[in-house]
Amino acid sequence: MAKLNMETIVSLCKRRGFIFQGSDIYGGIGGFWDYGPLGVELKNNIKRAWWRAMVQERDDIVGIDAAIIMNPLVWKASGHVDTFSDPLTDCKNCRHRFRADNLKGWENPEKIACPNCGMRGTLTPPRDFNLLFKTTVGPVADEGSIAYLRPETAQAMFVQYRNVQETARKKLPFGIAQQGRSFRNEIVHGDFIFRDREFEQMEMEFFCKPGTEDEWHDYWKEARLNWWKQTLNVSDEHIRIKVIRPDRTYIEGPDPDDVKEEKPPHYSKGNYDLEYLFPMGWSEIEGIASRTNFDLSAHANLSGKDLSYFDDETKEKYIPYVVEPAMGVERCFLVALIEHYREEQVKNEKRVVLKFPYALAPYKAAVFPLLRNRPELVEMARNLTRDLKTEMMATYDDTGAIGKLYRRQDEIGTPFCITVDVQSLDDHQVTIRDRDSMEQVRVDVSQVKGWLGERVR
């Protein structure tokens, strides 16, 4: 298929109700998006698949769900209040603002042209812009009531480390996982939902004995890469690993020469960034950081609480080291759409189909009566839909000819379409059509739920 552009995906998302501009009727608000009826299902399926792999199927990881607003000292200790910033530059002529490090030659802004108005020498020297969203807590808005919307979910896992470890009776190594909203006042949002100001993260902090962190870092790199390949069905040519060490940056996987030198974030001694080949180029979808004991030590110092671990077997006491796989739901959502979007030619007609893995598909099945003016067919189709809904997301539709209904479901990735026809009244069988092969089989109506269940589970 020809190279996909982002506009095709944006238009599909709007047309079919996956994603709408936030506050649409007021002209929107940059960096905020609303997820429609299909979008919320896809998001939930992504979150479920992650939770299943990271918590449900493991003995060594437990989950939490923490408050978004935390004591502001949390963000002081983590370094976000002092260092969570990007360089910002303004154009004195057109008043546009830019993230300076996105501009070529940004270290000397007086020498470059404004990307908006084209004037030279009008960009201000870059200044640090803190990305934390501020709010106030309680009835009086003053310095003492300032709080922040969390910019990452990770810190709650550090702050609650001791409570979780003791109540869940976990021994090292073990992990704490969380999914939830994060907020960053990004200078430049964009590439559709790739960079947002409100987004959802799925993060896991894996606590281990100092000295074992490199082994666990490699373990989580492999585990997470496999998750993308097996659960999201991402092909080998579309995913790669950027290895960011303090002394050098390199790629494992496709396009190894296409990389710039980088430094790991302030809390990390090394990162594996998983990157996906988006229409705008290779970009990060997940970071796997080796966070050392940076966070637990910082919180122990500022709170005065002992966050060390006593190892019963070796009788040693130490502050655990942490390896953190952290990803955003929205970027995964975009990968699912881009990776599985196909345009196919079927009998002189273009068919758009989202070949989602079944677990991600918003609806697993759609049921249609062949003739909507035959009440017996409508009743049988409606009863079947109702029955399927007890086990999976299913939908009923009788608003067009069968061919058109198939195309609609293909475009939103529904794996199976079921048609109730006149013969069904006699033989109690229905036709099930496969999204990918378009092949059809007849199945006894009493067996349909089991037949589908075996395939979509």
Applying CB under 6 A, which residues contact ligand GAP?
A: 152, 154, 184, 186, 195-196, 199, 201, 203, 284-287, 324, 326-328, 330-331
Task: Work out how close the CB of 425 gets to ligand GAP at its nearest, in angstroms, rounded to a whole number.
Answer: 51
Distance CA 78, CA 268 (A): 12
Name the minimum Å distance from CB 243 to ligand GAP.
15
Q: Which residue is nearest to ligand GAP (CB)?
A: 328
User: What residue type is assigned to position 19 of the chain?
Assistant: I
Closer Cβ to ligand GAP, 48 or 382, answer by number: 48
Residue 150: CB minimum distance to ligand GAP, A = 10
- Tokens of residue 241, six digits: 């690993």
Based on CB atoms, which residue is closest to ligand GAP, 99 or 408? 99
Q: End-to-end CA distance of the chain, in Å?
A: 29
Rank residues 46 and 377 by Cβ distance to ligand GAP and give the closer one.
46
In the complex with ligand GAP, the residue whose CB is nearer, 97 or 389, is 97
**What's the alpha-carbon Rg for the chain, to the nearest Å?**
26
Question: Please, which residue, 185 or 383, has the CB nearer to ligand GAP?
Answer: 185
State which amino acid sits at residue 324.
Answer: E
- Shortest distance, CB of residue 330 to ligand GAP, whole angstroms? 5
Nearer to ligand GAP, 319 or 327 (CB): 327
Contacts of 262 (CB under 8 A, 6+ apart): 242, 244, 249
Closer to ligand GAP by CB, 199 or 220: give it: 199
Residues 1, 5: Cα–Cα separation, whole Å: 12
Contact between 187 and 31 under an 8 Å Cβ cutoff? The reply is no
Sign of CA dihedral 169, 174, 180, 181: positive
Q: How far is the CB of 217 from ligand GAP (least distance, A)?
A: 14
Residue 89 is inside which H or E element, if any? Answer: strand 85-90
Tell me the closest approach of the beta carbon of residue 205 to ligand GAP, in angstroms.
9
* Burial class of residue 457 (count of CB atoms within 10 Å of its CB; 0-12, 13-18, 19+): exposed
The answer to whether the CB of 336 falls within 8 A of the CB of 50 is no
Of 135, 139, 176, residue with least CA distance to 157: 176
- Residue 141 CB, shortest distance to ligand GAP, in Å, is 26
CB of 202 to ligand GAP, least distance (A): 8
- Residue 324: closest CA among 199, 240, 224: 224
Instruction: Please identify, using beta-carbon distances, which residue of 201 and 429 lies nearer to ligand GAP.
Output: 201
CB of 268 to ligand GAP, least distance (A): 9
Question: Smallest gap, in angstroms, from Cβ of residue 209 to ligand GAP?
Answer: 21
* CB closer to ligand GAP, 186 vs 387: 186
Distance CA 373, CA 232 (A): 41
User: 284 vs 397, which CB is nearer to ligand GAP?
Assistant: 284
* Helix-, strand-, coil-residue percentages of the chain, each rounded to 5: 35, 30, 35
Give min distance, CB of 55 to ligand GAP, in A: 17
- In angstroms, what CA-CA distances link 426 with 106, 131, 278? 74, 65, 51
Helix (H, G, I), strand (E, B) or coil at 383: helix
Q: For the chain, how long is the longest CA-to-CA vector?
A: 81
**Which stretches of 347-405 are assigned E, i.e. beta strand?**
349-354, 365-369, 394-396
d(CA 135, CA 138): 10
Q: Which residues of 136-145 are buried (b: 16+ CB within 10 A; e: fewer)?
A: eeeeeeeeee
Nearer to ligand GAP by Cβ, of 98 and 199: the residue is 199
